[in-house]
């Protein structure tokens, strides 16, 4: 359930804040009587240069995908070099002086266009990308890529052996590199701000902290209330599911959602992800646990949500920096919407329960819909983030975010991380891992990329998933009855229109306001959780949130 | 049974003849008292620049492999652009002025080293590569890559529809580009010479023609004699073989040969190939025909032969231009040796016949070894090159080579190709295709790359496969008895030592002389064919070749 590589990795160096590109340039000195032709020529050159960057990024993504899917072990060291080389070439192109000149020359013209004109957005976003990219030296980009690759391969060996000691030098170096990266964007209010800005432009340590604080205050009583109830029996989900039908089930639902396999495909990886090579080639991966039906099924639906977003970006934006999802948080809202709000709804399984029975007749022939529905929504205090239910999931994220702050601020040494991890889990979730496999070695993040800016987006995504869904329902109340019939076209259509097609034309905050009529808020999310889990766990009304939190929740 | 992409594609722009790099340079002006340090530094820089080229070529190969294995149809147009972009970046690097300067500066030093010193060979080969690459403009390399990709995708649609008309404009353009490419190397004796030189440096139209003429003269009586005998019953090879055990059977033999799956893997493609991403990642592909057991089996063994060569190159040459097979012809000698000389020998199946029976008990439980051995070596006049037996195969090649000459010389128009194809097949093989699917649309070559220099290497490979094998047997007569026990280590060891480890340090002609004690000759090949097929088809001794053609043949 990893956020799409498409969001974290591809956006990492490309997302920007507008900063100090020198103004003026040749445009002002060109003859005034042929302004259109001049702009046309400059725009054409800008687009050609940006298209080359997109193609090179797509090529780099193919290498990463292959590394995670099919590469034999012997290929690792050369692949690290190849990836680092492409990262350097990309960085050279993202920071080429001519790009800055073109953007400068086109800015006065772009400012005369309506703000939502494709070309105005293109120049605006290209300007931000360029300003941000030029802060980071090429040498550093290559170092980080090569170290990330080496660390990832070390982690794939260290995790099964519960060998945190082996990862300690890697993680220490990753932490140093993460801080060094942040320094390129100094001054900042908090060292994590530049890291957050990469994935969720417009957000900062302060805004994330405030959101998480409010959310934790609301989640703790809910978790407590649920965990006071008798535990759900989810035994129907466990034990001996053949692999091929597991893959088929998830993929058939993803296709029904609208994931276009003529422009995508599903493969298996250690850690699921979604990646974009081009508008016509957006792939997802999943992993299978023969003993746990939910693993492949919901990983597939999660990544399919990322892929629906990418496949839904307007064709006109293809080949430009506008042609992908706008932020990691908004991206995650789509994976969580299709995985959870839709994929774990009773409504969806009204249609798919017969399909499930036909797929695994020996296992589900006698299992009623309600038993299955309750099983896939079982809430419990647990150790593994990616296996966590919707309600406790955010507590896993908040722990990680706070550990990132401690590490980055130097209050926590890498060597003390395992102990700090256990302490937090004990205090916030009431459980503590026996070993680091189920503790601080469990996530690929920190080990494949950087410390900081990697986890918060998941919770932003959860919050936004409910906000978008409620907004869609408000104008298209027929959506749940369609879902109950296995049709998703109205929901997908609303999301295409209000989220997907815009690509990066709108920054996350503007997109959320425009689509939902208000800034990001936890109200719809908490309303959704209380409505769904209040009913599932028969919670006392007195515990329920005030009326302001009610409203549309869940399919 | 396509030659490894590793040979044709990767060597295309990199194989060279030494030509006009300006001599002299800074090296001569450096202080004489520190020559080693100076050379060391220059060599280190040269190697770093060449390693980057290798890594970029490896990245480009990943994109091609993915295009042929897993890419969804929607990815095609962007992949064409991405491939063309990497081809252009590669070409820029292969022709960078600094490379020429370094090579110039290092040449006087390299000439003081023993000829077989790695660094002497490195400078020599880098010099040839550079001289050749600088003849071709970057614009042209990108054009050719993009056109090749578009043409390939058109061919995958046109071939099943028997639509030669759809391919005509593509092929006309490919022919123009092939001629234009040759012009960059003018003056030449024949327009195909620069195209042949790319894959088999040192050979020309004249040498290939002479070889083919001699070979045809020897093959025609053999084919006639065999086809006068009653046809072999090969029905045991046809009808309903499950896919997974087909793949397993071929791969288990390839592994026994020595193909290291920690540094490789097998996938399925429309057209089998072998490709090299790095020394640690050399992959093969195959295709399965449920109705024909030989398809996947021998395609896998063929590509495994290419892969054994690449995996056997000395580790010290990794990352340099010396680190891959020396020519397409020598490469093909290894694929044909492992596919045919070993893979279709009675000796090998003495060991593998029980494995075959265990793999397909319903099919081979009652089939004796001898019946199977005769079936996999059935000789017949046929239409499809890749399905052709060892004896008639070269006639398919000779037809294509002569058609290439006619097309390149302008004696044959593309529109008249189907008719010319039928006429040649009728006259040389006594059969004529009903449609172009089984005629001039059957091969991917001409449609994915160029016209000229693509086919001749297969026959050179056949000839050399027997020559190398006979040389190995002369010094290690125990090889057949090892093969009969399912062991290949002595043969593989001889090839590692005499062929593989040298990479591109030795040009094909020097390698052949050194390994076999004489220049390329068809004698061992004809002796092998007469011995094997004389026995199989009970040919009259009177027809057999003179004593000079006898000797070691077949495992």
DSSP string, B271-307: S--EEEEETTEEEEEE--BTTBHHHHHHHHHHHHHHH
For B206-214, what is the mean pLDDT? 96
pLDDT of residue A24: 36
Closest by CA to A17, choosing from A122, A126, A124, A132, is A132
Q: Which residues from A are below 8 Å from B312, CB to CB?
A: none
**Residues of A at the B interface, defined by Cβ within 8 angstroms:** 51-52, 55-56, 58-59, 62-63, 65-66, 70-79, 81-82, 85-86, 89, 260-265, 267, 277-281, 283
Judged against a pLDDT cut of 80, whether residue A246 lies above it is answered with: yes
Verify whether the Cβ–Cβ distance B264 to A85 is below 8 Å.
no
- C-alpha B358/C-alpha B109 separation (Å) is 60
The answer to whether B401 touches B455, Cβ cutoff 8 Å, is yes
Closest by CA to B377, choosing from B545, B196, B231, is B231
Which residues lie across from A284 on neighbouring strands? A266, A274
3-state secondary structure of B238: strand
Say what angle helices A164-183 and A138-158 make with each other, to 10 degrees.
Answer: 160
Q: How far is B75 from chain A (nearest CA, A)?
A: 5
Verify whether the Cβ–Cβ distance B73 to A262 is below 8 Å.
yes
The answer to whether B116 touches B322, Cβ cutoff 8 Å, is no
Verify whether the Cβ–Cβ distance B82 to A58 is below 8 Å.
yes
Q: How far is B60 from chain A (nearest CA, A)?
A: 8
- C-alpha B191/C-alpha B188 separation (Å) is 7
Verify whether the Cβ–Cβ distance A74 to B277 is below 8 Å.
no
Which residues lie across from A235 on neighbouring strands? none
Q: Which residues from A are below 8 Å from B58, CB to CB?
A: 78, 82
For A2-27, what is the mean pLDDT? 35
* Chain B residue at shortest CA distance from A56: B82
The token pair that represents B95 in the structure block: 């022709």
Q: Which residues from A are below 8 Å from B48, CB to CB?
A: none
Q: What is the mean pLDDT of chain B?
A: 91
Verify whether the Cβ–Cβ distance B82 to A56 is below 8 Å.
yes
Give CA A83 to chain center in angstroms: 22
Which residue out of B70, B146, B254, B307 would a mutagenesis test of the A interface target, given it has the greatest number of A Cβ atoms within 10 Å?
B70
Residue A56 has its nearest CB partner, among B52, B77, B85, at: B85
Per-residue pLDDT tens over the stretch B42-65 = 999 999 999 999 999 999 999 999
Which residues lie across from B283 on neighbouring strands? B275
**pLDDT class of A389 with cuts at 50, 70, 90:** very high
pLDDT of residue B542: 57
pLDDT of residue B554: 52
Verify whether the Cβ–Cβ distance A74 to B263 is below 8 Å.
yes
Q: Whats the size of chain A, residue-wise? A: 555
- C-alpha B485/C-alpha B463 separation (Å) is 27
**pLDDT class of B14 with cuts at 50, 70, 90:** very low
Cα–Cα separations (whole angstroms), residue A427 to A405, A415, A518: 18, 20, 34
Give CA A208 to chain center in angstroms: 16
More confident call, A391 vs A26: A391
pLDDT of residue A142: 79
Q: Exposed, middle or buried by CB within 10 Å (0-12, 13-18, 19+), for B471?
A: buried
**pLDDT class of B449 with cuts at 50, 70, 90:** confident
ipTM over 0.85: yes
**pLDDT class of A25 with cuts at 50, 70, 90:** very low
Q: How far is B305 from chain A (nearest CA, A)?
A: 18
pLDDT of residue B105: 96
**pLDDT class of B154 with cuts at 50, 70, 90:** very high
Q: How far is B497 from chain A (nearest CA, A)?
A: 22
Judged against a pLDDT cut of 60, whether residue A21 lies above it is answered with: no
Residue for token digits 């590589």?
Answer: A5
Give the ranges where B159-292 is alpha helix by DSSP (H).
164-183, 193-199, 205-227, 243-257
pLDDT of residue A544: 58
Judged against a pLDDT cut of 60, whether residue B411 lies above it is answered with: yes
Q: How far is A78 from chain B (nearest CA, A)?
A: 6
Judged against a pLDDT cut of 50, whether residue A312 lies above it is answered with: yes
For B7-30, what is the mean pLDDT? 35
Whether B390 is a known active-site residue: answer no
The answer to whether A252 touches A298, Cβ cutoff 8 Å, is no
pLDDT of residue A27: 40
Torsion of CA B217, B223, B229, B235, to 10 degrees: 170
Verify whether the Cβ–Cβ distance A277 to B78 is below 8 Å.
yes
Q: Which residues from A are below 8 Å from B146, CB to CB?
A: none
Q: Which residues from B are below 8 Å from A74, CB to CB?
A: 260, 262-264, 279-281
The answer to whether B329 touches B203, Cβ cutoff 8 Å, is yes
Judged against a pLDDT cut of 90, whether residue B540 lies above it is answered with: no
CB pairs under 8 A between A and B: 118
Give CA A253 to chain center in angstroms: 20
Phi and psi at residue A444, in whole multiples of 5°?
-70, -30
DSSP string, A328-376: HHHHHHHHHIIIIIITT-HHHHHHHHHHHHHHSHHHHTT--HHHHHHHH
3-state secondary structure of B138: helix
**Residues of B at the A interface, defined by Cβ within 8 angstroms:** 51-52, 55-56, 58-59, 62-63, 65-66, 70-79, 81-82, 85-86, 89, 260-265, 267, 277-281, 283
The answer to whether A462 touches A390, Cβ cutoff 8 Å, is yes
């Amino acid at each position: 359930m990893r956020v799409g590589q498409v969001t974290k990795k591809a956006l990492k160096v490309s997302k920007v804040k507008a900063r100090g590109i020198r103004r003026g340039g040749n445009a002002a000195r060109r003859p005034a009587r042929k302004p259109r032709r001049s702009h046309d020529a400059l725009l054409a050159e800008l687009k050609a240069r940006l298209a080359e960057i997109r193609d090179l990024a797509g090529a780099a993504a193919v290498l990463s995908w292959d590394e995670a899917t099919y590469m034999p072990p012997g290929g690792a060291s050369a692949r690290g070099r190849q990836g680092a080389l492409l990262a350097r070439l990309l960085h050279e192109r993202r920071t080429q002086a001519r790009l800055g000149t073109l953007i400068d020359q086109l800015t006065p013209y772009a400012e005369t266009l309506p703000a939502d004109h494709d070309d105005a957005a293109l120049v605006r976003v290209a300007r931000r990308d360029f300003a941000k990219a030029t802060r980071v030296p090429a040498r550093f980009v290559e170092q980080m890529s090569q170290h990330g690759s080496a660390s990832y391969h070390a982690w794939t060996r260290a995790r099964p052996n519960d060998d945190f000691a082996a990862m300690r030098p890697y993680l220490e170096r990753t932490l140093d590199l993460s801080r060094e990266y942040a320094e390129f964007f100094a001054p900042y209010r908090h060292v994590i701000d530049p890291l957050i800005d990469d994935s969720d432009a417009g957000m900062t340590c302060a805004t994330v902290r405030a959101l998480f604080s409010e959310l934790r205050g609301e989640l703790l009583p809910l978790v407590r209330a649920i965990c006071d109830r008798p535990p759900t029996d989810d035994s129907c989900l466990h034990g001996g599911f053949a692999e091929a039908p597991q893959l088929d089930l998830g993929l058939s639902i993803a296709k029904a959602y609208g994931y276009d396999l003529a422009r995508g495909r599903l493969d298996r990886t250690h850690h699921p992800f979604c990646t974009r090579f081009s508008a016509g080639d957006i792939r997802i991966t999943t992993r299978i646990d023969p003993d746990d039906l939910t693993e492949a099924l919901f990983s597939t639906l999660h990544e399919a949500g990322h892929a629906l977003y990418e496949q839904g970006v307007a064709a006109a934006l293809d080949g430009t920096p506008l042609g992908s999802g706008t932020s990691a948080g908004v991206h995650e809202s789509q994976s969580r919407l299709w995985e959870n709000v839709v994929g774990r709804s009773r409504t969806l399984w009204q249609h798919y329960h017969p399909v499930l029975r036909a797929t695994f007749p020996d296992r589900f022939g006698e299992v009623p819909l309600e038993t299955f529905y309750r099983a896939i929504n079982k809430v419990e205090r647990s150790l593994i983030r990616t296996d966590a239910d919707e309600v406790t999931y955010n507590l896993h994220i908040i722990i990680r975010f706070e550990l990132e702050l401690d590490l980055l601020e130097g209050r926590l040494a890498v060597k003390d991380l395992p102990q700090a991890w256990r302490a937090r889990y004990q205090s916030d979730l009431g459980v503590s891992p026996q070993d680091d496999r189920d503790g601080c070695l469990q996530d690929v993040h920190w080990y494949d990329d950087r410390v900081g800016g990697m986890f918060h987006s998941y919770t932003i995504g959860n919050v936004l998933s409910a906000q978008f869904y409620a907004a869609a329902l408000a104008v298209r109340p027929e959506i749940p009855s369609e879902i109950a019939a296995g049709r998703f076209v109205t929901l997908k259509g609303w999301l295409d229109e209000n989220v997907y097609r815009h690509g990066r034309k709108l920054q996350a905050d503007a997109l959320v306001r425009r689509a939902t009529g208000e800034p990001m808020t936890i109200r719809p999310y908490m309303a959704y959780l209380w409505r769904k889990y209040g009913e599932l766990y028969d919670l006392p009304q007195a515990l329920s949130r005030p009326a302001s939190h009610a409203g549309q929740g869940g399919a």
